[in-house]
Every structure is written in C-alpha cells, then in structure tokens.
Amino acid sequence: MKKNIPLFLLIALITPSLQSTESEEPKEKIVEFTGYVNYKTFYDTRQVVGVTEDQTVFFPKPIDCSPTGDINAHGHLQMLPFETRMRITLREPHKKYNFSCKGIIEVEFRGVQTLVNIVNMRHAFAQLDIRKTTLIFGQTWHTLNVEDLIPNTVSFNSGRPFAVYNRSPQIRYTQHLSNIDIILSAASQVDFQSDGPVGLSTTYIRNAIIPNFDFQVKGFFGQHVVGTGIDYQRISPRQVSPQGYKVHEDLSSVTGIWFLGLNWPKLTVKNTMMFGGNLSNYGVTGGYAVKKGSTDPITGQQKYTNIRTFTAWSDITVLPAQHIEPGVFLGISKNFGSAHEIEPTSVDPDSNPVLPTVYGLGTDINIMFRVSPRIRVKIGQVTFAGEIEYTRAAYGHLTNHGHVIHTAPVANTQFLFSTFLFF
C-alpha cells in the first residue's frame, strides 16, 4: 500500500494548481477526475496462457501428457480488483485562436506482465487541436488499436489475441478533411514488447533505430466509420552472437488492417481484419524465426523471417433498453507460416530447447477461434456484467515454412462476473 501513497499525494498537490487563475486574458480551464472501481471473479475450465494473474487470458494451454493424464486439463478460480483505474483530464480551449489543447493521465493497479497490485501508467499524452489538425504526443492507443473499434468485452483481454491491444509512446498527426481523417504516427515500445533472444524487451526496436511507422485513412458516413491502414515495424534481435562477434541483424514487418464500424441507436457492430508478420507485441498471435541456412558458421550472424498471421473479429452490442446491454464477440485467427524456410529449434537429449529459433506468441497454433456472449446491467453508476468466453486452439508441429500441422485442439471456457462503480 505504501507504494501507492505518492500517487495520491501527487494528485492532491497538482489538482488545485490546475484550476483557473486570473490573468490579463482569462482562460477557461477544466479539470476532470474520473474512473471506476472494479471487482471480478472468473473460473477457467483449463489452464491458460495469460498475464497478470491470468486476468488477461489469451488462449488455453496445449496438451501436456503425463502418466496420469493431461496436466493442463485442470481449471482454476481467481478474484481480482486491480483493473480499478483513475483518469485526470485537463482541457484548456483557446477560442480566440481557434486552438485547443487537452492532456490525459490514466493509471490502473493491474501492473505489468507478472507484477500486480502496483500502479501502471495506461495513458499519458497531450493533444493539440488546431483548426483541422490534431497532434498527439505521449503514450496512448497505438494507431492499429483503432479507438472507434475497441471490442466491448467484459474480459480485460478486449478481444486479444484476435484484436490489437497496444498502448505505445508516439507522436501522431491527424488531418481532418470533410469526411476523411488522414493519420500518420511514429511509435516505440514500453509495456507491449517484442519477443526475442532475451525474452520480452524493448531493446529490439530501440536498437533498430527506426520507429514503428503507421499510416491510416479513416472515412466517416453518418455515425459509421470505415478505414484501412498499413504499419511498418523493424527490430534488431541481436548485437552480439553467442560466439562473441558483433553482428548486424534486423527484421522488417508490414501489416495491413481493414475495419468497419456500424453505429445505430439500438445496435453497434465493429469489424476488423488484419494480416501481417511478427504481431506478438500488438497482442496478436504470430512472431518470427531464424531463416534456414542464414547463420554464418564463424560469426554466428543470422537472418530472420516473419511468421504471418491473419485475424478477423466482430463485436456486436445490442441496446434494447436503457439499463440492459447484451453483446457478443467473435474472433478467428490463422497461422500462414513464413515465406522462407525456417531453422528448426535444436534440443537436448531431454527435448528441451538449446537455442530457440522461433519467437512470438502462439506460433505453434494453426487455427484459433472464440465466441464470448455477454450482458451488462446498469443501475445508476453501478454496472454488473457477466460473460462466457469459449476459446478453441489447434496446437501442432511447425513445418519447414512455419506452418502448423498434426494439430491437437484444446478448448477453454471462462465464466466471468464483474462489477463496476463509476465516478
């Protein structure tokens, strides 16, 4: 608890200083303090791959045989409160110059990776609006994480690993035309990291020097939105080989995204399709591998190839009454392997990997799908929510081109109950 005290003291100290002050030209300043207290309990019928006490569930674990049966065929129950979050919003419009600015700081107590019950920064960015131009700098949703189309799931996974879930430090430029937004961004990594020889780390993109670039076109017709975009990412997996030589290694990945959001008074339908390589830092299955025959026998320098993934999902929300909100999430993903042959992972006599050659998330899954119906009941500032999430993943063995064959499907069903008190 002591770790959280400085945050509350900081909020208490800075909030009064953000109020309006008298000057030669008085400016309207608005400070909002919002958030919610969350509690959830959930039961999984199988052991799962997830993070932060399995609050974020990706998919069920594969079959792990023992003389007495499948080790992972065992459920588990968890109760958690640390999705609780707080947000400070500062708005300061400059009407005289047709210019306005906004700043947002948002934190939660989820933590990161395996660290829980600590403060984690979600958003920290400033936004400048000048006529038909918007400039954002700081950490917020990655451009591939289209804010108009974030799944409305009760589960904290927000549709992962089918839907992109990523917040990145970035600078983003948006030009607003009549019914079209043109978006350009350059980003890096902090919480959502690439995989590689030293595990999850930001060093791969930092050592690649080039930022993660994204270009997107978004069109609006009435309350609906449609768009497409392309994302470029480069990483540098290593600077030194196991033989002790300095090496120059890099891998470039390109991803395309298409989306459509339909918004009617009583019905909302969100749809997204995406295809690309090395998508694991976006919360989507996929990764990359060492290219076969590319390793220099003297220096150990090697080349890499992307493992490509196609993913598609739809999220439907029905609004039949003011206090009741049913919905359903549907997702599917497919491993399309690599354009080049990959180096097989060498193992010791006990079948343990010696030097991994494949990195990413769920690279040994061929096809995966999910269906998760939900319902929310809203009573004033309190919301009660329930969701049943069924995920089926077909695990198998990698071929020379990174495809998955000889699959053995496994499934997990999660029963989730959650409460929210908004303020």
pTM of the full predicted structure? 0.89
Phi, psi of 207 (to 5 degrees): -75, -15
| Band of residue 400 on the pLDDT scale cut at 50, 70, 90 | very high
DSSP 46: S
- Residue 11, pLDDT > 50, answer no
Distance CA(376)–CA(331), nearest Å, equals: 20
Q: 406 and 366 in contact (C-beta within 8 Å)? A: no
- Residue 405, pLDDT > 70, answer yes
Mean pLDDT of the chain: 91
Mean pLDDT across the stretch 90-106?
A: 82
Half-sphere exposure of 372 (CA within 13 A, CB side): 35
**Burial (CB count within 10 angstroms: exposed 0-12, middle 13-18, buried 19+), residue 138:** middle
Residue type, 370: R
Mean pLDDT across the stretch 276-287?
A: 97
Q: 188 and 202 in contact (C-beta within 8 Å)? A: yes
Distance CA(165)–CA(145), nearest Å, equals: 6
DSSP strands (E only) in 26-155: 30-44, 48-51, 56-60, 65-66, 69-70, 76-80, 85-94, 99-108, 120-130, 133-141
pLDDT tens string 193-213: 999 999 999 999 999 999 999
pLDDT tens string 289-332: 999 999 999 999 999 999 999 999 999 999 988 899 999 999 99
Residue type, 147: E
Residue type, 226: V
Phi, psi of 409 (to 5 degrees): -75, 145
pLDDT tens string 51-80: 888 888 999 999 999 999 999 999 999 998
Distance of alpha carbon 198 from its chain centroid, rounded? 21
Dihedral of the alpha carbons of 110, 113, 114, 117, in degrees to the nearest 10: -20
Q: What angle do CA 194, 280, 169 make, to 5 degrees?
A: 55
Of 200, 11, 186, give the one whose Cα is nearest residue 112. Answer: 200
User: At which residue do the structure tokens 């003291």 appear?
Assistant: 9
Q: What is the pLDDT of residue 97?
A: 67
Tell me if residue 288 falls in helix, strand or coil: strand
Mean pLDDT across the stretch 369-380?
A: 97
User: At which residue do the structure tokens 């006990």 appear?
Assistant: 350
Q: And the tokens for 32?
A: 């909002």
Domain 2-422 has CATH 2.60.40.1120: no
68 Ramachandran zone, left/alpha/beta (phi>0; psi -120 to 50): alpha
